């Protein structure tokens, strides 16, 4: 999916919501356990109940790998269930030397090889340009590079200063030379709201994937105050607050209600910003 198509979807749905599909078997509604693959059923019902309210889905690969071969099979089948118009994010945080990143790119972008073709993948920047480039070789596929993450550990290295620039600032500035805003997004945690003004200065045109709203405590309005740009430029992710809104038979209905509340808040923000 290209940038214009993503923005058009945002305008059409009046939403820049991304839903994180991070299912844990122990937290699933009990009535789903009768299915052959409860997690797949959980995902499918969530997708069916919310896809008109969100513009992106983001399964985190860890939650699938933890169930071994069956988990990977669930990830592939979940990908197959995504509606065509939705932007899909493999939240995999990969990155390795060039020939190895090329394999990861094939795993997540090339359906003939792996059975899946996500629109984008999250990538860790530590290994530098040649660890990122292989993902950029696919047309209309995106790298979402970790910049400033939502967790406590973001303070360990990401904010260290070198030549008066924090590491995450260097990651953004340097990687702007690897791809433009039509293939490169950045992960910026919603818990880092005070940094959005600075990040928009460094990356005015890029989309930012923003986790941390909801269970992690980030504020949507604080993120939007400085994070919005001319094409919205934000994909705000919520996972636990939506997918575990209820653990009863009404889980999908309650997930929809949570997603709807966020979509309505986003609609007001988009209207106020003259983006719809």
Please check whether residue 207 is in contact with residue 3, taking contact to mean a CB–CB distance below 8 angstroms. yes
How far lies 251's CA from each of 18, 53, 217, in Å?
A: 18, 16, 22
The closest alpha carbon to 93, from 104, 109, 82, 81, belongs to: 104
Q: 12 vs 129, which CB is nearer to a second copy? A: 129
Q: 76 vs 261, which CB is nearer to a second copy? A: 76
Stretch that binds a second copy, among 38-46, 59-67, 230-238, 259-267 (CB under 8 A): 59-67
> Is 14 an annotated catalytic residue?
no
Residue 139 binding a second copy, by CB under 8 A: no
Window 206-225: residues binding a second copy (CB under 8 A): 216
Q: 127 vs 257, which CB is nearer to a second copy? A: 127
Stretch that binds a second copy, among 10-18, 31-39, 101-109, 201-209 (CB under 8 A): 101-109
Task: Name the DSSP letter for residue 34.
Answer: G
Residue 81 binding a second copy, by CB under 8 A: no
- Active-site residue, selected from the candidate residues 93, 129, 141, 197: 93
The rounded Cα 224 to chain-centroid distance in angstroms is: 16
Q: Which of 81, 124, 205, 260 touches a second copy (CB under 8 A)?
A: 124
Binding mask 170-209 for a second copy (x = CB under 8 A): xx--x-----------------------------------
Smallest gap from Cβ 41 to a second copy, in A, equals 18
Q: Which of 37, 81, 85, 115 touches a second copy (CB under 8 A)?
A: 115
- Write a three-state SS string for 134-203: HHHCCCCCEEEEEEECCCCCHHHHCCCEECCEEHHHHHHHHHCCCCCCCCEEEEECHHHHHHHHHHHHHC
Quote the tokens at residue 63.
Answer: 């939650």
Please check whether residue 189 is in contact with residue 149, taking contact to mean a CB–CB distance below 8 angstroms. yes
Residue 160 binding a second copy, by CB under 8 A: yes
Residue 129 binding a second copy, by CB under 8 A: yes
Q: 45 vs 100, which CB is nearer to a second copy? A: 100
DSSP 43-83: HHHHHHHHTTT-SEEEEBTHHHHTTHHHHHHHHHHHHHHS-
Question: If residue 123 lies in a helix (H) or strand (E), which one and from where to where?
Answer: strand 120-123
Tell me the longest C-alpha to C-alpha distance in the chain: 58
Stretch that binds a second copy, among 38-46, 151-159, 225-233, 244-252 (CB under 8 A): 151-159
Residue 120 binding a second copy, by CB under 8 A: no
Q: Which of 73, 205, 265, 267 touches a second copy (CB under 8 A)?
A: 73
Distance between CA 48 and CA 170 in Å, rounded?
40
Q: Looking at the annotation, which residues are catalytic? A: 93
Q: Which residues bind a second copy (CB under 8 A)?
A: 22, 24, 60, 62-63, 65-69, 71-73, 76, 93-98, 100-101, 103-104, 106-108, 110, 113-116, 124-132, 146, 149-158, 160-163, 167, 170-171, 174, 216
């Amino acid at each position: 999916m290209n940038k214009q198509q993503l923005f058009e979807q945002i305008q059409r749905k009046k939403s820049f919501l991304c839903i994180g599909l991070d299912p844990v078997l122990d937290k699933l509604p009990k009535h789903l356990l009768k299915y052959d693959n409860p997690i797949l059923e959980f995902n499918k019902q969530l997708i069916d109940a919310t896809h008109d309210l969100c513009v992106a889905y983001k399964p985190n690969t860890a939650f699938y790998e933890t169930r071994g071969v069956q988990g990977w099979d669930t990830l592939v089948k979940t990908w197959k269930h995504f509606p065509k118009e939705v932007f899909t994010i493999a939240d995999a945080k990969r990155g390795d030397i060039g020939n190895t990143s090329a394999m990861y790119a094939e795993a997540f972008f090339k359906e003939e090889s792996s059975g899946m073709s996500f629109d984008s993948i999250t990538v860790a920047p530590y290994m530098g340009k040649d660890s990122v480039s292989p993902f950029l070789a696919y047309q209309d596929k995106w790298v979402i590079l970790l910049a400033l993450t939502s967790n406590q550990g973001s303070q360990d290295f990401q904010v260290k200063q070198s030549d008066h620039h924090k590491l995450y600032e260097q990651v953004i500035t340097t990687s702007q030379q690897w791809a433009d805003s039509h293939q490169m997004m950045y992960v910026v945690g919603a818990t880092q709201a005070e940094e959005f003004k600075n990040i928009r200065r460094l990356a005015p045109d890029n989309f930012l994937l923003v986790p941390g709203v909801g269970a992690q405590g980030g504020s949507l309005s604080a993120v939007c105050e400085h994070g919005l740009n001319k094409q919205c430029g934000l994909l705000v992710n919520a996972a636990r607050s939506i997918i575990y809104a209820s653990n009863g038979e009404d889980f999908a209905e309650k997930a929809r209600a949570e997603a709807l509340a966020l979509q309505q808040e986003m609609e007001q923000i988009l209207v106020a910003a003259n983006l719809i």
